Amino acid sequence: MHTYQTVDYVRKKHAQFGGFSCKKMTIMAAMDMLNNLVDESDPDVDFPNSFHAFQTAEGIRKAHPDKDWFHLVGLLHDLGKVLALWGEPQWAVVGDTFPVGCRPQASVVFCDSTFQDNPDLRDPRYSTEFGMYQPHCGLENVLMSWGHDEYLYQMMKFNKVSLPKEAFYMIRFHSFYPWHTGGDYRQLCSQQDLDMLPWVQEFNKFDLYTKCPDLPDVDKLRPYYQALVDKFCPGVLSW
């Protein structure tokens, strides 16, 4: 991931997938696809990703019973991992994300030992603290490493899903650990980014700490979440 995620690579992936012509399917059909995926980057789970989705959603539902949109984000936050079932290597789908186009910051995992073969770090346009960005340009103007977060965020925008702004931040940045946990990349943030950060951190608690070997009764839970899908992102979507 740290070798091949470059500005050029990410732009090519946006061009490849940005038309959302891979498949037409519902949210729940995508969820069923994740029954066939185990995330190789996650040391805490060795069961299909769909169970983790329901565990996350139920944790949020218990703590925030009044925020139904938040429950839904818990369910669908990893649906972009369908990319791994369409032939994309897991290094281009899962793992902690980071901005491309500027020098990686200290809290990027294994930062000092894994970027030496990334050509962008030898390119003066991309190898400084700000790289191709302006101070406080806002994360909406930052090119993130390509993976399931970015894909699902773009897919939700493309399909005009009616979730609140907080939900879109959670979807796009839940794997951006150097930002929401490491405290880095603040020099790129707008005030809106900083205002949204606590929501991403709140989501992260459930993404991380609801994983357990006791698997949820998906058939029992499904009708509640189907109703949320029907409310916020109904019908067949373009993927």
The 10 Å Cβ neighbour count of residue 101 is 20
**Do 93 and 17 contact (CB within 8 A), yes or no?**
no
Residues 6+ apart with CB under 8 A from 173: 97, 139, 149, 179, 180, 200
DSSP at 103: P
Residues 6+ apart with CB under 8 A from 236: 24, 25, 26
* Residue positions forming the annotated binding site: 52, 77-78, 148, 174, 207
* Residue positions forming the annotated binding site for Fe cation: 52, 77-78, 148, 174, 207
**Do 126 and 100 contact (CB within 8 A), yes or no?**
yes
